[in-house]
A and B are shown apart, each in its own frame.
Chain A
């Protein structure tokens, strides 16, 4: 019997102990819900839900061969594999992975707990797909034993793209684009208004707000609002600008084709 099981105490004692000989499932299924794919997935009968489909699954580590089918097929992602045969203070954890970015063996990733909080970094040892049309990949990462039972997933894209950057300050309102099509920030519109332009079409010409793809469908009212505030006039007095043909984008090839 292993003296200290990090984290969940006795809950997964049998899995924890069996894992010294190789991969074994850890079933973290707590809700009593009508669900039993794990039972159907398991070729050895190691996981049993039984006739009451709402019962929590019962697990027998001695029968488990570590194939990982349950990991891939559990819709709640409630099963992972634990493998402690290295006995060096590190364990191998296999979690399901269904994000768009395909991870790469050998890369460092962030491992996260059930709430998505980062636990530590870990190296991807192996990636496999069980096939059968299921998109789920099984990703095996090497992590310190101390966190092994907490690992529920890997965060690949953030590592890859953004590193561990934290958002500490939101951009100011003035930097937000008033017009997304032409990417014109609110502050630019206000700068232009300070030069004294008076009409909505002039403001459009000078700022380019309303001259992009949407032709002002999204931004005209915001622009009118800004002009109204700057000039102390009412929206109705300001009026609106004319959408210029074509009202919707049209391919040049079509416009220049025989549709005259």
Chain B
């Protein structure tokens, strides 16, 4: 490796966001370098579910961003060399009380008003979509556009394709400092050497706060732990994405949908289930603020299993073979932080995707690529600016 490297654009972070940014930039012919402290998909992108869920988004700019992103997946699935296991399988949000049903109905109305197809279903309607649900389940809402993807394959596929188009990927390379002179990014200092670059994209996930400090900007991203159980592989038994209303509650901070149980509320417990292409069920999940600890805990494993049995009693005889935890790069309002920084030219933020990074990766990559190369974006991303928090 040369003493001093250079690249037109340096992308910090080899997660799904960094990979997507590098992919869209490379497609436009830009010279890109991904620097990753660990390895591709070593962060949240390698320890999460694969929901491309639209009905869980907040009506408004968030939903519009997600809908735009969802539309990019089919073309990506075609273009990437890796099979990303993309499937437009539809998704269900289940309610376990009439109050939750009421809330889901109101949300469905709001989502429909923005052009998203959502149906409110009774328990008997559910029978067509799910083999069997728990007695507590009172109904739910269904979105046929919800889809599924393998997040690890997506990350690796984007990175690999970017590399084929000329991007450089440097692993085991931690960014330690960013040199700014005359209000402009000049150089990135890393553990393997210095890189001359006038454009730097921060896609460092939960490392983004640390990166911000290097240019004296507070990027309010905190690690939020999410734990998942993995079952043995089975024949296709779950054809759609399933989540509980409380999942939406803890995710979007909707008071009416929070878990009633104190312990569950403390863990930020919300039910999710999907079956991967390999046949395993991924059962989730929690939302905990415990710093950078990404271990799983027996309490959470028990709680997730108990909760799963509430919604889908038939999972009872399945073997749990594994558990894992990931750290969501969580912003104060759960929405991504995208765009430029005042006073430092050449620095771009693509972080804070919280629980939606997989879903929002394509549109994030596209928007940041436009911003870096043209200075403007085809979609309005000002609602996601860092300065909304001030």
Q: Which residues of A pack against B, CB within 8 Å?
A: 182, 195-199, 201-202, 205-206, 208, 211-213, 215, 244-246, 249-253, 255-257, 259-260
Shortest distance from the beta carbon of B19 to any chain A beta carbon, whole Å: 12
When the two chains form the complex, which single residue of A196, A198, A201, A256 contacts B305, counting CB atoms closer than 8 Å?
A256
Q: Please tell me the size bucket of the interface on B.
A: 35 or more
Question: Which of B275-309 touch A at CB < 8 Å?
Answer: 278, 283, 296, 298-299, 301-309
Q: A199–B39 contact, CB under 8 A?
A: yes
A256 to chain B: closest residue by CB: B305
Q: How far is the CB of B279 from chain A (nearest CB, A)?
A: 10
Q: Say yes or no: B41 contacts A206, CB within 8 Å.
A: yes
Q: Is B319 an interface residue (CB 8 A)?
A: yes
Binding site secondary structure of chain B: mixed
Task: Verify B39–A245 contact, CB threshold 8 A.
Answer: no
Say how far B307's CB is from chain A's closest CB, in angstroms.
8
A contact face: mostly helix, strand, loop, or mixed: loop
Question: Which residues of A sit under 8 angstroms from B156, Cβ to Cβ?
Answer: 195, 206
Residue of B nearest to A213 (CB): B321
- 7 A-B pairs within 8 Å (CB atoms) are namely A196-B171, A198-B172, A199-B38, A199-B39, A211-B322, A245-B296, A252-B317
- B309 contacts A251, CB within 8 Å? no
> B residues engaging A (CB < 8 A)?
38-42, 46, 152, 156, 160, 169, 171-172, 229-233, 278, 283, 296, 298-299, 301-309, 315-324
Q: Contacting A195 at CB < 8 Å: which of B152, B160, B233, B304?
A: B160
Q: Which residues of A contact B169 (CB under 8 A)?
A: 196
List the B residue with the shortest CB-CB distance to A253.
B316
Distance of B28 from chain A, by nearest CB (Å): 23
Q: Among the listed B40, B41, B302, B320, which residue makes an inter-chain contact with A259, where contact means beta carbons less than 8 Å apart?
A: B302
Q: In the bound complex, what is the Cα–Cα distance between A173 and B21 (angstroms)? A: 38
* Best-surrounded residue of B304, B316, B324 (most CB of chain A within 10 A): B316
B344 CB, nearest partner CB in chain A, Å? 32
Minimum distance in angstroms from A191 CB to a CB of chain B = 10
Say whether A253 contacts B317, CB under 8 Å. yes
- CB <8 Å contact, A246 and B171: no
